[in-house]
Structures are given as C-alpha cells and as structure tokens.
Structure 1
C-alpha cells in the first residue's frame, strides 16, 4: 500500500519522532511510506532514514498545509493517511473531503483536549472544536495515545469515536540503539547510583522539583542525576542546581541524539512532569531496564505503571515524596522481567496490527 504519515512540525519532541518511528515500522511491513513534515524547526536537523521518504513543505502554520494536502491527495492518491495532533487531524480531514480521496484517514491525538479546545465563543479553540466535531464523520479511525485521554475526549465531545492505541516504543531500531557506546565518567563509575531524566527543559516537565528532590536525598546517600535535553528553562535550572548546592551530583547534559544508550546504563528513571499525553520516554527507560519513578500527572504515568505495579508513583509538585520514592526505587528496583512485561503493549507489531484492524486493512 501507499501510505502517508503526516506531522505538522519537526523538533526533538515526542510527536514527530514517534511519527517517524511509526513510518519506519510500516515500511518494514513492505509498504511504500512517505513522511510529510509541515515545517522543520531551524534549530534541529531532520533525520533521513534510508527506508522511508521524507518530504518537507516548509509551512510553519498547520492551516497552510490544507491546499498542499488537497493537491497531494489528488495527485499521489495514497491508500492510507496517518496524521497526528488535533489541528492537523482536522485539516487532513477537510483536505480529504475537498479532494474526494478514497484514502482511509486515521488521526491520532497526542495531548489533552482540555488544552486544545474551548467553550469560549468565537475563539480559535472554539472554532477548532466545532470544525473537529463536523469532520469526525470523515475519519476512518480517531485514536488517543492513552486510555485516560479517551475519557477526556468523552467529556469534550458527545459520543466521540476515539479509542486508545499506544505509540510504538519497542522496536528493533530502538533495541539496537540501547547498546551504542557512551562516554561519560559517571556512567563508567558504577559505585554511585545514576538517576536519569529526559525532556525539554520547560516548566511543565517539573525538573525543578526533581532537582530539589535530589538535594533532599543527597544529604543521606550518594547519588548522581543526569538530565538529558535542552530548552528555555536551562539557565533557571542551572541556577537552582547551584542554589541547592548539588553541582557535584547534578548535570544538565543537554541534547543527546540517542538517550537510550544513557537509559540502559542508569539505575532509576524519573519523570517529574506536571502533565503529559503518553510519556514515551518513560516506556523507553523501562525498556532499557531503569526502575521508574513518575509523577501521577494527567495523563499516562499511572496507566503505564499500572497503578504502581511497574514502578513508583508520586504526587505532582512534591519533592519530598519524590525523594522518598527514588530512595525506595534504589533499594527495591523493579525486576527485569516485570519491566519487560510492562513494555509489551508498546511493541511494534502489536501497534501496527491494531491500527490496521481499526481501518479494516489486511494484517
């Protein structure tokens, strides 16, 4: 089949990386796959895997992708289109109607609808809500990346068709990247436990709470924390590291191309977020053997950790509780076989099979 995987913007965030991973999984099944990217953030370089075609349109606004999508659907006639994020999902469905394409359309929602839609009359989010409601009937499948998010859509829309299908996290490419070499003195010294976290250095990731938790814990035991990622809060977090007196045991590593090789050499992964969609990075860390500690934020961590079966949950914005959970994770790590069990819902073949089942496509 000819399949298009569409994403609005490429930066080093979960959605576009997940779309590329999804596209590569489709290609491994023998399909002809094109990834369409609306815009590439100039600060980042778009990866170019050999097994898929990637086309960049240079359009920073999602709405400006409408006419190019209509043209693409009319001329290239894909059999299936997978889009991600609500603004783009709606634009893709409008393009499908205008072009009269026979392609099956699947749209995936990745963030809470409470941040996407509004009941305030004539605002952009109010207009989007009503457009989305009108366009839903054209979709062959609408999915969310967590069960909690499906429940949220039921509170926003009456009888929405959304169902949960997770992102692919566990695939052959990721497994291979876990074993890549990494040079860092902390990771070579196994005498001190390594805590690791990763994500954009932005307020909603809660890294300030994590640094404070490490400051509390470092009074009673030797630990080291590595935070992978970059973002607008970097200087503020650096100042907090100094203010808490933990410069010798906390490092803001910055952007790394392959975080999996760091995860596979760490002891505990900490997700300190205030909110999430479905935290792929949490599943990646578990796949790499890290015992997880995660805030019980909306949405995803409680679902991924199955109410604490596969890791330790703590309240949001509670550094003391986080410190206690990290200590327990170090003393009582989750067994490897239980972590492997936790990752099975995110396996490549399972996710592709579910998407094809929803679209009525042959497996």
Structure 2
C-alpha cells in the first residue's frame, strides 16, 4: 500500500515529528511512503528512513501547492493521502478534485483550532469555520490527536453525523532510560518546545523567578522560535541569567531528559502534548497547564502528573516547588503510562484505519 503524507515542511514541529515517527514504522511494516512537502526544508529530513520518498511541491505559499499537488496525485495515484492540518486539508480536497483522485483522503488535525485561530484575522476564522462545516464531510476519514481536538471540531461546526477517529500521537520511548548525572549541582526543571506564543514559556520563566526563592534550581528550555528575543528580555529583566538557559534545538532530546528532575509544560493550547509523553517515557515527572487539548488525557486528569490552570503564574510556581520537594510520582509508573503511546501501538491503530478505508 502506498501512503502519501502532505505537510508544509519538516521543521521540528510536533505534527512533523509525529508523522516522521509514524512513517518510519510504516516502512518497517512494508508500506511505501511519500512525504509530499510544500518545501523540502527542516532538520527532521535527516531522520527519515532511507526508503521514504520525498516530493517537493516547490510552493512558497499554501495556495500555490494546489496545482503541483493535483499533478502529483494524477501521476502517482497513492492509495491514501493524509493531509496534515488545516488549511492543507482544504488544499488536498481541491487538488484531489482537480486530479479526479480515486484514492482515499484523510484529514488530520493536530491542534485546538478554535484557540489557535483567535489570533488570526477575520477572513481566516471565517474560512476555517466554513471549510470545517461544509468541506470536511467529503474526507474519507478525519483523524484527530485527542478527544479535545475532536470536541473542538464539533464546536467549530463539524456536522454531528461525522465521527473523527481519535488516534493519539506515536512517541518513541527509549529502550533504556539514561541515569541522571550526579554531577549536576542544582535540580533541573526542563521545558522542550518551539519558542512561540502557544507554548507560553514566558509564563514558565516568570513562575521560575518565584520558584528559586524557595528551592534552588535551574531551568533549561530546549527549542527555537520567534519568541526567543522576548524570552531573553524577560530573563534579563528578572535577573535570571544564572538560572535559566535556552541552548536551542537539541537533536538527541534524550540527553535533555536525562538531566531533568521535572518537566514543565506551560502552553496556552496544544493538540496533544508529545513532550509530556517523552518526559514520562524517561521517568521524569510532569507539571502541565490544563490547556486544551491533550495534557489532561495523557495525565488522566492528574493521575500521572500535576495539572494547573492556564496562565496562572503563582499556581504553576507552587506546583513546581511542591513536586521538586516531594517527588510524588514514581518513575516506573510514568514509564508504563508512556508505553500506551508507543510507536508500535499507535502505528497499529493507523494500519487498522488504512485497511478499513481500502477494503
């Protein structure tokens, strides 16, 4: 079976990492995989299995991908096209119609769109609502990464008769958890994610200024993005240069988790929260904002980690201090929970979906 995955590029975003993990496992299981990219850029390109084919649509804007995608679908005729995230879902619908595509199309949503689109213009919000209400019914299947994202689509107008399939994100779990270094002078609080508005690392930094007044600790934030300048400014204003480090993107993130005593997610919104599972897979306890969507599902409403209200600096600081002092969650419990999201288990759920579509 031939599966094509449509993405903007392979920069280090959560959805991109998800599909790289999924595609590499599908190749092992004998599937032929094409990554169809608007532009062939991104550090995750080097993580693709050598058997995966990469197609460059050479589209500098999303609307410019319609024609080359239609040509690709007409020429190559994959069995299934997965369009990852609006508005590429709309692009895939138009291109498939133009190409008279006979394969199956899956729309895949990875974010809580109602929150993400609040910051967009009026036209974008109308286009999103209209396409979900009137175009998503034409997909052969709709995949979402959490029950929260599923509920959000219905709130945005998805017809009630449609039934999006919830398949959580596949996350690689280490075969052996690295032992934390005993040479570290201070407990390490870790955050991993793009430096962008949705991740709200500014909240974490401001909360951390409260933490170090009660517990000696160091905050390390791995990732890159447009908010770096603003975050560096906040660190300087609060005098945290000796306590907060932002080393940038880390290729082998297991090295980062191996140094951590606690992982903190400070996001305003998510679709799932891959990094929470990654942390748990390394036996690292988690404090997370209870944002839409994903963290409460992964942590089972607080059974496997601490949930705090979104954008509450004081309560986030209190939760960090308490977990650093008490370490409530046992590593073996966290590792077992993380195994529920293993690449092998999640890939099998996708395979079931593919087989039902083409049978």
Q: Same fold (TM over 0.5)?
A: yes
Q: Secondary structure at the match of 2:46?
A: coil
Contact 1:187 1:266 in 2 (8 A): no
Relative to 1, partners in 2 of residues 1:148 and 1:55: Cα closer, same or farther, differing over 3 Å?
same
Corresponding position of 1:290: 284
Gaps of 5+ in 1: none
Shift of 1:130: 2.8
What is aligned with 1:301? Answer: 295
Partner of 1:251: 245
For structure 2, the 5+ residue unaligned runs are none
The answer to whether the Cα contact below 8 Å between 1:289 and 1:336 also exists between their aligned partners in 2 is yes
Judge which range, 250-259 or 340-349, deviates more. Answer: 340-349
Q: Which residue of 1 aligns with 2:333?
A: 338
**CA distance 1:309–1:357, change in 2 (3 Å):** same
1:202 matched to 2:196? The reply is yes
Counterparts of 1:138 and 1:117 in 2: how far apart (Å)? 22
SS in structure 2 at match of 1:307: coil
TM (norm. structure 1) is 0.88
Q: 8 Å contact 1:205–1:274 — kept in the other structure? A: yes
Is 1:169 the counterpart of 2:171? The answer is yes
Structure 1 residues 9 and 287: alpha-carbon distance in aligned structure 2, compared to 1, 3 A threshold: same
1:253-284 per-position Cα deviation (integer Å, ceiling 9, x unaligned): 11222222211331100001111111111111
Q: Distance in 2 between matches of 1:271 and 1:196?
A: 9
> What SS class does the counterpart of residue 83 from structure 2 fall into?
strand
Pick closer, same or farther for the CA change 1:140–1:304 going to 2, 3 Å: same
Structure-1 residue corresponding to 2:317: 323
Give the alignment's Cα RMSD to 1 decimal: 2.7
Quote the residue 2:16 is aligned against: 16
Indicate the residue corresponding to 1:260 in structure 2: 254
Corresponding position of 1:90:
90
Displacement after TM superposition at 1:60 (Å): 2.4
Deviation (angstroms), 1:59? 0.9
Task: Look up the match of 2:141.
Answer: 141
**Alignment partners' CA distance in 1, 2:116 and 2:195:** 22
CA contact (8 A) 1:117 1:126 kept: no
Q: Judge conservation of contact 2:283–2:332 (CA < 8 Å) in 1.
A: no
In the alignment, the residues of structure 1 paired with residue 129 and residue 309 of structure 2 have an alpha-carbon distance, to the nearest angstrom, of 31
Matched residue SS, 2:215: coil
Q: Say if 2:147 and 2:166, in contact at 8 Å, map to a contact too.
A: yes
Partner of residue 352, structure 2:
357
Q: Quick check: 2:177–2:283 contact (8 Å CA) kept in 1?
A: no
Cα shift at 1:6? 1.4
Change (3 A) 1:223 1:127: closer
Q: CA deviation at 1:167?
A: 1.3
* Cα distance in 1 for residues equivalent to 2:343 and 2:307: 26
After superposition, the Cα gap between the structure-2 partners of 1:178 and 1:254, relative to the gap in structure 1 and judged at 3 Å, is farther
CA distance in 1 between partners of 2:279 and 2:44 (Å): 24
Whole-angstrom distance in 1 between the partners of 2:279 and 2:212: 23
2:117 and 2:125 in contact (8 A); partners too: yes
What is the alpha-carbon distance in structure 2 between the residues aligned to residue 237 and residue 117 of structure 1?
23
1:16-49 alpha-carbon deviations (Å, 9 max, x no partner):
222222211111111111111112458x573253
SS across alignment from 1:289: coil
* Partner SS for 1:168: coil
Deviations 1:314-342 (A, max 9, x none): 11222221122112222224112321232
Q: Secondary structure at the match of 2:135?
A: helix
- Of the three residues 209, 221, 225, the one matched with 2:219 is 225
Residues 278-325 of structure 1 show CA distances to partners (whole Å, capped at 9, x for unaligned) of 111111111111100001111111111111101011112222211221
SS for the counterpart of 1:167 is coil
Is contact 1:177–1:261 with CA below 8 Å preserved after alignment? Answer: no
State the structure with bigger RCO (CA 8 A, min sep 6), 1 or 2.
2
